[in-house]
Amino acid sequence: MSNPVLSNQKNDAAFDDVWDELVWRGLVHVSTDQAALKELLAGEPITYYCGFDPTAASLHLGHLVQLLTLRRLQLAGHKPLGLVGGSTGLVGDPRPTAERTLQTKETVSEWVRSLGDQISNYLSFEGENRARMVNNLDWTADLSAIDFLRDIGKHFRVGAMLKKDAVSARLNSDAGISFTEFSYQLLQALDFLELYRRHDCVLQTGGSDQWGNLVGGTDLVHRVEGANVHAFGTPLIVNSDGTKFGKSEGNAIWLNPEMTTPYAFYQFWLNAADADVIDRLKVFTFLSRAEIDEYAEKVANEPFRREAQKRLAWEVTTLVHGEAATQAAIDASSALFGRGDLSALDAATLEAAVAELPNATAGGDATVAQLLVETGLTTSLGEGRRAVDQGGVYLNNEKVTDADAVPAQPLHGRFHVLRRGKKTLAGVTIDV
């Protein structure tokens, strides 16, 4: 159990079974027979899986929904398989808009390793229902094209394949679709068949945008083995204003701290809208229904305290990055606004915080007035001098008295934090 947070996780005993809890948390958008699934998950332990394709060096928040769904089922006693797509990642799941850029085999192999390491942080590999990692390259690497067409392709009808949403969208676009991406759905279906044969796997989970691929797998297992297996798809999470969840300034929120810093990660959750925060607590935390109901009352009665957002940011950042990184992000937020010691922040956290502010790069001989203009806190040197004279400018939480002074001793030799008034911040990186 590599992640110490796992030991504190548990499902809510107030629910009759895990299926009811999944439904309450809003994690079931589409599924095979719901009554059969409820009965299956309330019975003896089963083996189930979710697949993750290596289309980048890291998983993102959309994947976190799947990881936590896998974990909830494991906490109910079931046996998870975490699949990383060493072969499907070489092909690429068709997007509705354009063909994916094929990565080299070496790149995909490295991403497979990276994603496998990440997935392992969210599942327990101990006990009778310990998790196992699998790679679909293991059963496709030696599979000939002739065998694939005879043994797998024979069970698919082109008419049904053409109706898949992503395929249909591409066929109706100028981009069209290659045979490579068109065949992806067969490879994903093969995964379910192989896992059924190798591990008696009877359930696949995934995002609802993958539903066509999920049922392709259930259909293939039924046709080849005569067995009834199941699937359910989680909803695609969007914000209450209709914008795509998990995007910040056009960039995905990654689970890798080198791609999205813990500070930026924490701030993302802290900035959740009141209309979204309760749903986020349901999906991304293990808080009980009773606890979440209490936060719903706080949002309704005292939204200005943002207690639900603070709890959400703490829980998810701690889950992904650990308690120390979460506390460092909180300390950085406080220090930026003068409620803590900026010099006590480690260089990485301070750099991450500065990067999230309006910021500028300046030479070591720039005056405070020049820095105010460079960062956009003032529009002119004259305005900057007046702001200083009025006592409203702070540099590294110290009040500035001379606008034409050159700041000494940048934090960690590289950074300054400028504040105008109580809440208007900017960062400066000294060009060394």
CATH code at position 223 = 3.40.50.620
Calculate mean pLDDT across residues 34-54: 97
Structure confidence at residue 26 as a pLDDT band (50, 70, 90):
very high
pLDDT, tens digit, 9 for 90 and up, residues 95-143: 878 888 889 999 999 999 999 999 999 999 999 999 999 999 999 999 9
Contact assessment for residue 353 and residue 428, using Cβ atoms and an 8 Å cutoff: no
Residues 220 and 170 in one domain: yes
For 112, the domain range is: 4-236
pLDDT at residue 79 greater than cutoff 80:
yes
The pTM of the full predicted model, rounded to 2 decimals, is: 0.91
Residues 380 and 311 in one domain: no
Residues 231 and 248 in one domain: no
Residues 278 and 423 in one domain: no
Structure confidence at residue 222 as a pLDDT band (50, 70, 90):
very high
pLDDT, tens digit, 9 for 90 and up, residues 138-195: 999 999 999 999 999 999 888 788 888 788 888 888 778 888 888 889 999 999 999 9
Tokens standing for residue 33: 């027979």
Residues 109 and 214 in one domain: yes
Phi, psi values for residue 365, rounded to 5°: -105, 10
Residues 79 and 185 in one domain: yes
pLDDT at site 257: 95
b/e code 18-57 from CB counts within 10 Å (16+ = b): bbebbeebebbeebbeeeebbebbeeeebbbbbbbbbbbb
pLDDT at residue 249 greater than cutoff 60:
no
What does the alpha-carbon distance between residue 186 and residue 220 come to, in Å, rounded to a whole number?
9
Any idea which of 60-64, 196-200, 211-215, 335-339 has the lowest mean pLDDT? 335-339
Tokens standing for residue 402: 């001379």
Q: List the CATH number of the domain containing 347.
A: 1.10.240.10
Residue length, the chain?
432
CA distances from 142 to 87, 137, 149 (A): 11, 9, 14
What does the alpha-carbon distance between residue 260 and residue 269 come to, in Å, rounded to a whole number?
13
Structure confidence at residue 1 as a pLDDT band (50, 70, 90):
very low
Residues 278 and 248 in one domain: yes
Domain termination residue (choose one: 337, 352, 367)? 352
If one counts the domains in the chain, the total is 3
Domain termination residue (choose one: 180, 211, 236)? 236
Residues 333 and 361 in one domain: no
Contact assessment for residue 90 and residue 102, using Cβ atoms and an 8 Å cutoff: yes
Residues 229 and 251 in one domain: no
Q: List the CATH number of the domain containing 391.
A: 3.10.290.10
pLDDT at site 247: 63
Question: Of the candidates 193, 102, 98, 95, which has an alpha carbon nearest to the alpha carbon of residue 140?
Answer: 193
Residue 350 gets which letter from DSSP?
A: H
Residues 190 and 319 in one domain: no
Residues 262 and 165 in one domain: no
pLDDT at site 5: 82
Domain termination residue (choose one: 211, 236, 261)? 236
| Residue with the larger pLDDT of the pair 296 and 247 | 296
Residues 198 and 88 in one domain: yes
Q: How many helices (H) and strands (E) does the chain have?
A: 20, 13
Question: What's the angle, vertex CA 139, arms to CA 28 and CA 92, rounded to 5?
Answer: 60
b/e code 167-203 from CB counts within 10 Å (16+ = b): beebeeeeeebbeebbbbbbbbbbbbbbbbeeeebbb
